[in-house]
């Protein structure tokens, strides 16, 4: 966009320098004798010596050099370098594992330095993608080499990695949790989609429903999730104790039933709001023209209003789904299962890598769903992507 500007790319330059400081100054890995004791941190120079550490500064300085003179060619080189450095992070872990871990019980933890550098490199990637005006798809494709490198390192050298150990200890359970998580999110979003669209249509017909409906949903959204899960506990427990067929279904104060109810409640507001706004916001001139051409009410709705509103409705589904992925994690507290279970188990046992095993996939899931539904919205928008 502002490629013609000849000065340094301040953003990339500052990201690079901060990342270099984090790389050299913070612990990149930690080694613990077993699962429970806290580990000892190791900086770069403590793993490969001061000379080696200085050598690892070289690619950073090259990156800074590209940022200093950001011609398009230099930015492309910087992009390649950033991807390579991202791919090198798992290799660094592998190297540390081979050098530092000797006892079979010992575990390798990922240090603040690596997390910081990972974060800053991803920011640099975003910045470069924006400056070079690359498509979203290409941006995602750039993550493939680092992922491949991570997979390779995990398979060959990273057995002592604590996160990996936690996963291997419960790989079956993990897949089950992912399944539960997705099932809860899917059912909640599906149910709220059906209910939400119905409610939005009713609101368009009866203004009274609109005011009351939005008032109610807004109020519901204000109540913290943990409180809503909690408040549903008592009535559902009472119902399951007193209504036989409900308890036969598995409804109880704890478990999937209150979780699902609360999830649907939360999901309704963004769903209804977007559907309603989308249907209302269709250019009245277009509707007028359609009616003027002799289309019937139903035809106008199905052939004009709905297709034009679809991208905004999808946007609502995207927001709802991302939100539901996070809320489902909280639902683990009331025994609904899912990835949140690992988080709360880990917190309970002070096993931080178990917490990561829950939190990281939730984060990735949210990002993935966001990206996929975002891309779908772009495609469905008349005129196609971007």
Binding site for another protein (CB under 8 A): 4, 9-11, 112, 115, 123, 126-127, 130-131, 219, 222-231, 233-234, 237, 253-254, 322, 325-327, 329-330, 333-335, 340, 343-344, 346-348, 350, 352-353, 355-356, 358-360, 362-363, 366-367, 370
For residue 283, what is the DSSP state?
-
Q: Which is nearer to another protein, 67 or 81 (CB)?
A: 67
Q: Tell me the closest approach of the beta carbon of residue 232 to another protein, in angstroms.
A: 9
- 263 φ, ψ to 5°? -60, -45
User: Coil, helix or strand for 34?
Assistant: coil
Q: Which is nearer to another protein, 206 or 238 (CB)?
A: 238
Q: Tell me the closest approach of the beta carbon of residue 313 to another protein, in angstroms.
A: 19
Query: Nearest 5°: CA angle at 194, between 207 and 301?
Result: 60
In terms of Cα–Cα distance, which of 26, 22, 57, 56 is closest to 43? Answer: 26
User: Coil, helix or strand for 108?
Assistant: strand
Query: Nearest 5°: CA angle at 46, between 41 and 50?
Result: 150
Q: Tell me the closest approach of the beta carbon of residue 270 to another protein, in angstroms.
A: 12
Q: Tell me the closest approach of the beta carbon of residue 222 to another protein, in angstroms.
A: 5
Q: Tell me the closest approach of the beta carbon of residue 378 to another protein, in angstroms.
A: 15
Query: Nearest 5°: CA angle at 365, between 117 and 328?
Result: 120
Q: Which is nearer to another protein, 20 or 357 (CB)?
A: 357
In terms of Cα–Cα distance, which of 27, 146, 23, 161 is closest to 97? Answer: 161
Q: Which is nearer to another protein, 224 or 382 (CB)?
A: 224
Q: Tell me the closest approach of the beta carbon of residue 292 to another protein, in angstroms.
A: 27
Alpha carbon distance 142, 129 (integer Å): 10
- 338 φ, ψ to 5°? 90, 180
Alpha carbon distance 264, 333 (integer Å): 17
Q: Which is nearer to another protein, 159 or 370 (CB)?
A: 370
Q: Which is nearer to another protein, 84 or 350 (CB)?
A: 350
Q: Which is nearer to another protein, 226 or 306 (CB)?
A: 226
Q: Tell me the closest approach of the beta carbon of residue 350 to another protein, in angstroms.
A: 8
Alpha carbon distance 164, 275 (integer Å): 42
In terms of Cα–Cα distance, which of 61, 89, 60, 78 is closest to 125? Answer: 78
Residue 211: count of CB within 10 angstroms of its CB: 11
Q: Which is nearer to another protein, 26 or 195 (CB)?
A: 26
Q: Which is nearer to another protein, 206 or 219 (CB)?
A: 219
Q: Tell me the closest approach of the beta carbon of residue 103 to another protein, in angstroms.
A: 22
C-beta separation of 43 from 61 below 8 A:
no
Q: Tell me the closest approach of the beta carbon of residue 130 to another protein, in angstroms.
A: 5
Query: Nearest 5°: CA angle at 370, between 369 and 374?
Result: 115
Alpha carbon distance 49, 44 (integer Å): 7
């Amino acid at each position: 966009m502002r490629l013609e500007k000849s000065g340094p790319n301040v953003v990339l330059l500052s990201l690079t320098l901060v990342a270099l400081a984090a790389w050299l100054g913070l612990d990149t890995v930690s080694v613990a004798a077993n699962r429970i004791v806290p580990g000892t941190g190791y900086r770069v120079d403590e793993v490969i010596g001061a000379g080696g550490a200085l050598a690892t500064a070289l690619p950073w300085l090259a990156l800074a050099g590209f940022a200093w003179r950001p011609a398009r060619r230099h930015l492309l080189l910087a992009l390649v370098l950033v991807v390579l450095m991202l791919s090198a992070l798992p290799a660094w872990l592998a190297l540390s594992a081979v050098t530092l871990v000797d006892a079979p019980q010992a575990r390798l933890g990922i240090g603040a330095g690596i997390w910081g550098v990972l974060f800053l490199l991803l920011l640099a990637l975003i910045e470069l993608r924006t400056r070079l005006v690359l498509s979203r798809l290409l941006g995602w494709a750039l993550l493939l080499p680092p992922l491949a490198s991570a997979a390779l390192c995990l398979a060959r050298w990273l057995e002592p990695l604590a996160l990996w150990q936690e996963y291997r200890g419960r790989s079956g359970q993990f897949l089950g949790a992912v399944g539960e998580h997705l099932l809860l999110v899917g059912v909640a979003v599906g149910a709220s989609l059906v209910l939400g669209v119905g409610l939005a249509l009713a609101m368009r017909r009866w203004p009274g429903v609109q005011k009351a409906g939005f008032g109610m949903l807004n109020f519901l959204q204000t109540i913290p999730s943990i409180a809503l899960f909690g408040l549903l506990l008592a009535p559902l427990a009472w119902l399951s104790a007193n209504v036989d067929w409900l308890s036969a279904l598995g409804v109880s104060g704890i478990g999937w039933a209150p979780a699902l109810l609360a999830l649907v409640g939360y999901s309704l507001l963004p769903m209804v709001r977007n559907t309603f706004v989308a249907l209302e916001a269709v250019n009245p001139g277009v509707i007028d023209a359609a009616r003027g051409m002799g289309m019937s009410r139903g035809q106008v709705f199905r052939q004009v209003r709905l297709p034009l509103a679809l991208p905004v409705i999808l946007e609502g589904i995207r927001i709802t789904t991302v939100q539901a992925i996070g809320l489902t994690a909280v639902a683990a507290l009331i025994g609904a299962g899912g990835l949140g279970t690992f988080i709360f188990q880990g917190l309970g046992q002070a096993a931080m890598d178990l917490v990561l095993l829950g939190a990281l996939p939730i984060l990735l899931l949210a990002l993935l769903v966001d990206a996929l539904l975002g891309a779908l919205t772009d495609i469905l928008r008349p005129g196609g992507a971007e």
